[in-house]
Amino acid sequence: MARQEASSAFTIEGDTVRITAQLRGGGPPGFLDSLSRAIRPMSSALVKVDISQLTELDSLGGSLLAELVVRGHIAGKDLNFIGASPAVERGLARYFYPAPEVRLPEERRDRIAGVGAGAYRLWDALGDLLLLASESIYWSAVALWRSDGHRKGAVTAQALLIGVGALPVVLTISFLIGIVITLQSADLVKQWGANIFVADGLVVGMFREMGPLMTAILLAGRSGAAIAAEIATMVVSEEMDALQVMGLSPMRYVVVPKVWGITLTAPFVSIFACLTGVFGGFLVCVTNLDLTPTVFFREAVSALDWYDFLTGNVKTLVFAWLIVIISSYFGLNVKGGAEGVGRATTASVVATIFAVIVADAGLGLLFYL
């Protein structure tokens, strides 16, 4: 026996819901809520919705039916519309737009297969990255004896663009970091009367860790993004293919000048960053910790060892090579047009910063344990 709803807008017969009200203008007040509540407790997972009594379907009616499908999907019900007249069919084709994940059946992937596919892609990407690194190192070494294969002055241009161009922002951030580190240390050492040791911690921390690390992170965000975007644009615009047609190696023509440019400039940028950070800390020590400039510099020089200077520069060089190689990898493997260039640039910055931090942890364990 059919169950007639109080609203007289629909009836329920077994697993079939028959809509008797017209849905022009969105139907009667509260129609969608009452129909959703009525469908939820139905025993069958497949619910038939008879719309044979509808004479037309406008945009609000189509939106109502689309929302009904979404609510039914959330309740675990699949709704199937039956009995639609030609006029209602045209309305459905024009106005019925449920969410794609509701309109299309959800694909359930095998989790183990998904993990295996992801691991395979990661292994394949690491192999390509290793191949790119080996080619970059080889052709960079060849460039010491053979200057052909790239434009004249390309190394100088890349050095100015990558290193010198990043110098203002690196020095500004390093200066502020030196101030912050000193202020944080001052609160701790004041209570013990060990103000003099702030100079030791500042100079060692800047030359060992903060100077190289902050230089690498800022270079990754500024110069690394520019490298990835430039190479990705060349790939999308088929300039890389044109270089190969002309008998030029894209690796030697594009990547090698960037490797040498960042190799020649990154250590100097890091040293200037360390000195600027120490200067920022020096201002705090003189104004806030009652240290004279002579005492500060004497303590700083005695605390800094040649090993600290050497390890900081080794870190800087490793970080610099990681920045160029990873950024070049994402640029060379771009897919799509302008949108793909943006995705490759973003992914290169994230991957480069992650690689720099991991390398910093590994080199720290190697040098200081």
What is the distance between the alpha carbons of residues 344 and 350, in angstroms, rounded to a whole number?
A: 10
Helix 167-189 to helix 211-219 angle (10° resolution) is 140
In Å, how far are 10, 95, 149, 252 from 146, measured between CA atoms? 84, 67, 8, 11
**Any idea which fold 3-103 has?**
Transcription Regulator spoIIAA (3.30.750)
Structure tokens, 282:
């020096």
Q: In degrees rounded to 5, what are phi and psi of residue 16?
A: -120, 130
pLDDT at 40: 84
pLDDT at 324: 92
DSSP 302-341: HH--HHHHHHHHHHHHHHHHHHHHHHHHHHHT--SSHHHH
Angle subtended at Cα 101 by Cα 98 and Cα 107, rounded to the nearest 5 degrees: 150
Q: Which helix (H) or strand (E) holds 268?
A: helix 256-288
Mean pLDDT by 10 residues, the chain (369 residues): 54 85 80 85 84 84 84 82 85 71 49 74 83 82 72 83 88 92 81 78 89 92 89 86 80 86 91 93 86 86 86 92 91 81 89 93 85
pLDDT at 4: 41
Angle subtended at Cα 274 by Cα 218 and Cα 307, rounded to the nearest 5 degrees: 115
pLDDT at 77: 82
pLDDT at 5: 45
What ranges make up the beta strands (E) of the chain? 3-4, 10-13, 16-19, 46-50, 78-82
List every span in the chain annotated with CATH 3.30.750.24.
3-103
Q: In terms of pTM, does the model score above 0.75? A: no
